[in-house]
Amino acid sequence: MDSWHILMRMRAPKKCSCDPVPPLELPHSLHAFHRDSPSDELNVEGFHTFCGGFWNYFSMGIDAQVSYAFYSERKMNPDKFKNQLVNQVQQCSFAHWTCVVLLA
């Protein structure tokens, strides 16, 4: 899995100082996206600057089914997925049940 840190600049509207719409529901691959403060050195006049990152992963086959089940469950119950070790155990559990179903 790759992890990328990105900087995104969007041209600011000329007639108003409109902020972008309220936070959107981002895919799980995007994380920590926030708008930089106007005084940040990364800002360029006439642009809104955002910093963040994403995880790049590609799955197909059985592991895709496990990944989808894990991320769907995490989206519905975010309180249960706050610890990395617990997340890994949970993902192994999804993998186990997927294999049991396939081998039955």
Neighbours of 55 (CB within 10 A): 13
Domain boundaries of the chain, sorted by first residue: 2-56, 62-103
Q: What is the mean pLDDT of residues 3-24?
A: 66
What pLDDT band is residue 27 in, cutting at 50, 70 and 90? Answer: low
Which range, of 44-48, 72-76, 100-104, averages the lowest pLDDT?
100-104
Of residues 34 and 27, more confidence is placed in 34
Which range, of 26-40, 44-58, 81-95, averages the lowest pLDDT?
26-40
Q: How many Å apart are CA 27 and CA 57, to the nearest integer? A: 12
pLDDT in tens, 38-58: 677 777 777 777 777 776 666
Helix (H) or strand (E) holding 2: strand 2-11
What pLDDT band is residue 23 in, cutting at 50, 70 and 90? Answer: low
pTM of the model: 0.40
3-state secondary structure 39-79: CCCCCCCCEEEEEEEEEECCCCCHHHHHHHHHHHHHHHCHH
